[in-house]
Amino acid sequence: MSENQSLADLNEDERELAGMVREFAEQVVAPQAYEADRTHTLNIDVVRQMGDLGLFGLPFPEEHGGQGGDYLALGIAIEALARVDQSIAITLEAGVSLGAMPIHRFGTEEQKAEYLPSLLAGEALAGFGLTEPEAGSDAGATRTTARLDGGEWVIDGTKQFITNSGTPITRFVTVTAVTGESEGRKEISTIIVPNGTPGFTVEPAYDKVGWNASDTHPLTLQGVRVPEGNLLGVRGHGFRNFLSILDEGRIAIAALATGAAEGCLEAAVDYARQRTVFGAALSTRQNAQFTLARMRARVHTARLAWHHAARLRDAGKPFAEEAAIAKLVAGDAAMDNARDATQIFGGNGFMNEYPVARHYRDSKILEIGEGTTEVQLLVIARALGLAG
C-alpha cells in the first residue's frame, strides 16, 4: 500500500506528523525491535527520543508543555510506531492515555504543575493501577482499599498487568481503591502513589506471550501512606473517571491495531513479490493476491473506524460507541492480518526475527486489553438498546 493512500483524509499538518513519525519508526525504532523483544527490554533511549519529538505531549495544551494537538494526532503517531514495534507504540499509548491524561483531566492545578511537564516531555512515565486478580472487565469489583489516617491515605491491595509501572523513569502509579460506601455501593477513588513509597512494591515483570519490550508488572501495596492531597479528582468518582479515560484509550488502541495490521500487510506484500514458488513470484498466485487484498481491506476499514471515533472525540461529540466499534474492528484486523501474513511467509513467519512473527504474538492482546472483544460487543449492544 502506498503511503499516500494511508494519508488521504489528513490535513497538511497531520500528514507532516505521520511522515515524521513513520521515518522515526523506520530509522530508530525498527532496528532495535528484535533485540528489545528477545531480551524483554524497554529501550529508554527510544522513549526519550519520542519525548524529544513531542509525541508524549501531542494531545495536551502548550501551557503544560504539550503540543496543543488532539487525539487524532496521537493516534497518527501510535499507528506509525505500531507498524514496526507494538511494544514501543503501547508505551506511548499508555504513557499518554493512562499516565498523563488522568492528571490532565482530573488533577488539581498543583498536581498538573508538578507532574505534567516531565510526563509530556518523555522524561518520566506513569502507570494506571486498575486491574486486579478479581477485577478486570468487572473493574467495579476492586478490592484494594484506602482509608484516611492522620491526613494520609493508607492503601492496601494488589494490582496486575500494569503498564509502565516499573521502568527506570516511572514516577508514579495512579491506583483505584475503595475509599468507602455510598448508597450501598463501593466508593472508588483514584490516588497518586509515587514509586519508591514505603510498602509499594513493583513485583518482577511478567513473562508475556507478546509486547515483550513493554514494561508490565504486578503491584503490591501494604500499608502504603501518601498525603491526603494525592487524591486525584473527586472522592468516589474514580471509577466513573476511569471509564471516560478508557473510551479515549480504545481509540488509541484501535490506532495501534491499525498500524500493526498495516505493518503485516506491507511485509506480506514485499515478501510475496520476492518469494519464488514453482518458478513464479508468490504475488502472481491468485490465492496470495486474494489474501493480500483482504488484508488491505481490513487496514482501510480499521483506519476509517478509528479516525471517525477520534474526530468525534476531538469535536466534543459522543464517541463511546464509535470507540468500541473502532477497537473491535481494528483488533480483529490486526489479529487476522498477523495470521495471514504469517501464512504468506511460511516457515519464515515462525521465526521471531521477522516482524510478522512478533506481530502474530503481539496482536492477541489487542482483543483483550482496554476492554475485551466481548466488552466492546456489550457496549455496542447497549447503544442499540439491546442490553441492560
Give the CATH class of 126-235. Answer: mainly beta
Percent of the chain scoring above 90 in pLDDT: 86
Task: Using alpha carbons, select from 312, 190, 191, 172 the residue that is nearest to residue 240.
Answer: 190
The contacts of residue 134 (CB under 8 Å, 6+ apart) are 141, 143
Q: Which pLDDT does position 134 carry in this prediction?
A: 83
pLDDT in tens, 46-85: 999 999 999 999 999 998 889 999 999 999 999 999 999 9
Stretch 196-213: mean pLDDT, rounded?
A: 97
pLDDT of residue 137: 65
DSSP string, 281-302: EGGGSHHHHHHHHHHHHHHHHH
Mean pLDDT of the chain: 94
Q: Helices in the chain by DSSP H: which ranges?
A: 3-6, 12-24, 30-39, 44-52, 71-82, 86-94, 101-106, 109-120, 238-274, 286-314, 320-345, 355-362, 373-383
**What is the average pLDDT across 309-332?**
97
Per-residue pLDDT at 331: 98
User: What's the average model confidence in pLDDT over 191-203?
Assistant: 97
Q: Is 200 left (phi over 0), alpha (psi -120 to 50) or beta?
A: beta
Give percent above pLDDT 70 in the chain. Answer: 97
Is-contact 284 335, C-beta < 8 A? no
Query: What ranges make up the beta strands (E) of 183-229?
Result: 185-194, 200-202, 216-227
For position 73, what pLDDT does the model report?
97
Residue 162, pLDDT above cutoff 90: yes
> What are the boundaries of each domain within the chain?
3-125, 126-235, 240-383
Same fold, 3-125 and 126-235: no
Alpha carbon distance 257, 302 (integer Å):
8
pLDDT at 355 over 50: yes
Least confident of 39-48, 58-67, 151-160: 58-67
The active-site residue out of 35, 123, 370, 374 is 370
CATH topology of domain 3-125: Butyryl-Coa Dehydrogenase, subunit A; domain 1 (1.10.540)
- One CATH from 1.10.10.10, 1.20.1260.10, 1.20.140.10, 3.40.50.1220 for 240-383: 1.20.140.10
Rounded CA gap, 86 and 73, in Å? 18
Is pLDDT of 354 > 80? Answer: yes
Section 147-174 average pLDDT: 97
Q: Is 35 known to be catalytic?
A: no
The predicted structure's pLDDT at residue 1: 46
Q: What is the pLDDT of residue 30?
A: 97
Residue 138 pLDDT > 80: no
